[in-house]
A = this chain, B = another copy of it.
């Protein structure tokens, strides 16, 4: 509204405006256009356009250099907006994230963004803030900007999409890659941790170290495929080791939107206590946490109880945040190749954008078990440490350190 270029007068044969602007462009308030370059080089717009797009088709070296010079002089670069309008591709990639607060999502985002940037794409970000109803809006908003493709890390399984018949079109026929969470109604490539194998590695390790009573703690399964897959993988592991270990699953309540969800804390504490009791006095109960959010809550619970990982209870968690080595004796973690996941997703998408057709692909990347103190052999020291603390000192009331 302020520094907008004054509309050109519609004088039929006045001095051609582009040229005018080009020469007067010494103090140009606006980016040079292809017309400016054309005028500067004394050629037509089409020629300049060809210089960029159809370089293979010979344009006489003479003219080519003239155009090149003009481009350099004016520091011209094509407007992606106009290109999108005309040519149909925006060189934009829409990225929808369920919760930007989740370090996993950020790590993936990072990997994906890197690849996209290197390929000349820009990322448009939409954060759902854990409000899954907004998924439709997010995709629609992105689509309205003509994004060339989508990378989706969202909850929405069947619910949000698929009801409305027009939903099939929601992607506007543009390719999409799903990350970490499958999407029933969408046929798209899928990239994720190999949850099955990862869980297997975690459980095998615990069993091997002598932990015998396992508890898997997860956020609400809801429609989130990765949570479901890990949970069922856990069950399967328990079955495999049936003669040696027992297992149980705890699904945390939904976190109240932003609230400190106080009640669940109580149930979490109780569940942990119960685990220890089930395991008996030999200290062979261990927790498996479904992701870093759960890990955080479990660690807080342990602090409240005055317990220490690797002593009262064993522990393995999914994700490997920076701080995992610093909690207690260090937390044993299944490290996800987040960067690779993000990069892989972006590459998948780029391949599709490059014209690759065919059925939806699935790319499962292996996790890596990072062993630290929290899962150290349970059998070697129950008599020493655990027994000693069998009845742990009552935690100093609620004067817990975390004054949140």
Binding site for B on A (CB under 8 A): 1-4, 29-31, 75, 77, 79-82, 84-85, 88, 90, 92, 95, 100-101, 103, 106-107, 109-110, 113-114, 117, 122-127, 129, 140-146, 166, 172-173, 296, 299-300, 303, 321-327, 329-330, 355, 370-373, 400-404
Known: A125-B123, A144-B79. A326 touches B402 (CB 8 A): yes
Known: A81-B85, A123-B125. A101 touches B90 (CB 8 A): no
In the complex, the count of this chain's copies comes to 2
Q: Which of A75, A129, A404 counts the most B-chain CB atoms under 10 A from its CB?
A: A404
The interface residues of chain B lying within 8 Å CB-to-CB of A322 are 296
Contact in complex: A81, B145 (CB < 8 Å): yes
Contact in complex: A122, B126 (CB < 8 Å): yes
Known: A144-B79, A323-B327. A124 touches B127 (CB 8 A): no
Contact in complex: A402, B325 (CB < 8 Å): yes
Top 9 A-B residue pairs of the complex, sorted by shortest distance between their CB atoms? A330-B401, A325-B402, A323-B323, A125-B125, A372-B401, A299-B326, A373-B401, A325-B401, A3-B173
How far is A107 from B95 in the complex, measured between Cα atoms in Å? Answer: 18
Contact in complex: A82, B80 (CB < 8 Å): no
**Residue A84 contacts which of B81, B88, B95, B106 (CB distance < 8 angstroms)?**
B81
Known: A4-B88, A125-B125. A296 touches B326 (CB 8 A): yes
Q: Which of A4, A101, A117, A402 counts the most B-chain CB atoms under 10 A from its CB?
A: A402
Contact in complex: A113, B125 (CB < 8 Å): yes
Given contacts A4-B88, A122-B124, A372-B401, 20 further A-B contacts (CB under 8 A): A30-B172, A31-B143, A31-B144, A31-B172, A75-B166, A81-B81, A81-B85, A81-B90, A95-B125, A100-B113, A110-B129, A122-B141, A122-B142, A300-B325, A323-B323, A325-B403, A326-B327, A330-B401, A370-B403, A372-B402
